[in-house]
Amino acid sequence: MVRFPELYRTGNLAGLLFAPLLYLYIRNVVYQNKLSFRDLIHLVPFLIFFFDFLPIYFLSSADKLALILSEIENPAEFTNYNQSHFFPSNFYGVFRTILIAFYWTLSIRIIYKNRKRFLKTKKQFGSTWLKWISLYLFLLLFSFLPYFLIGLNGNPLLAFDLIHFSVALITIFAGISLLFFPKILYGLDEFEFILSEQNEVDKNLEKHVLNTAKINELEIKIHQTINKEKVYLNKGYSLADLAKDTEVPSYLLTIYINKYLNCSFSDLINKARVEESIKMIENGYLERKTFEGIADSCGFNNRNSFINSFKKFKRMTPSQYKNKMEAA
């Protein structure tokens, strides 16, 4: 803090964001809930702290350094946030700890209620994620428990050391575990996971969910979104994006695409991209664009994925298709 006084009192901003963001992440993975305007309420503590300490942020580096040097000898006092304009000393330390404990409790509740469903997917992402997040939440317990046991009625400096030691261990654990479980870092393999859950769905329930009216509704919405709005031109377009654009739960889209269109989501999107590339080739785009340019315009991430998809659906490469077209 002495070396970088410009960062004075910004650390708590991350602390007030971390707790609700972790909860929202867990809620999203478990329930596949989209964020809504109501979720902005989770930013209220962050905004209160930000506006409370806004005058501090506008101080010069020299003034911030003076404040730091006046408290730095006592780390426990340094984290009391004595410069608050609205609240008494150490309010934010206690409040942040309670906030983390509150969101930790909500997260544990979600995990406990849904653990059996995730454990069924032994060969899928769900089981791995459940084990990782459970261990992570267990370690996170020690980021606030010492404060309640020691800090409030005992030695605040000891509580400070224990909390920061625990947070360091959590950070190291999270970093190392991501090396061994990279899927956690890159996100839920949504299509694969939903399919594994779909196998557990009772056939009668599936028929009830996808009745004739629902099938017709899905057909219209998917056709409108994919073929009319051409969302497949967006690189990295995912099943979650389609669920958001059609306002249809992703599990229903998965069941419909897999069962009634007899393909995967990626095949559905890539086939549309290939058809778009054919239109561009036939309309003479190759006179001013390369195959790489056409692949990019059609939403493919690179030339190889474009060629592989083209061969899959047309049984020939784009170059062979072009030569065939010219020969005709």
**Element holding 246 (H helix, E strand):** helix 239-246
| DSSP conformation letters of 13-31 | HHHHHHHHHHHHHHHHHHH
Cβ atoms of residues 26 and 133 within 8 Å: yes
Short-list 221, 328, 232, 327, CA closest to 277: 232
pLDDT at 303: 86
pLDDT at 109: 92
**Domain boundaries along the sequence of the chain:** 5-188, 189-262, 268-328
**Element holding 118 (H helix, E strand):** helix 91-119
pLDDT at 201: 47
pLDDT at 210: 66
pLDDT at 270: 92
Helix (H, G, I), strand (E, B), or coil: what is residue 120? Answer: coil
CATH code of domain 268-328: 1.10.10.60
Question: CA 52 → CA 37, 48, 317, distances in Å?
Answer: 24, 6, 62
Short-list 105, 103, 107, CA closest to 133: 107
pLDDT tens for the chain, 328 residues long, are 889 999 998 888 988 998 899 999 888 878 777 788 889 999 999 999 999 999 999 999 999 899 888 888 877 777 778 888 888 877 888 888 889 999 999 999 999 888 877 766 555 567 777 888 888 888 888 878 777 777 556 666 776 777 778 888 888 887 887 777 666 665 555 445 555 555 544 444 455 466 788 888 888 999 898 888 888 898 888 888 898 888 888 888 888 888 888 888 889 999 999 999 999 888 888 777 788 888 888 999 888 889 999 999 989 998 898 888 887 6
Give the pair of three-digit tokens for residue 119. Answer: 């454990």
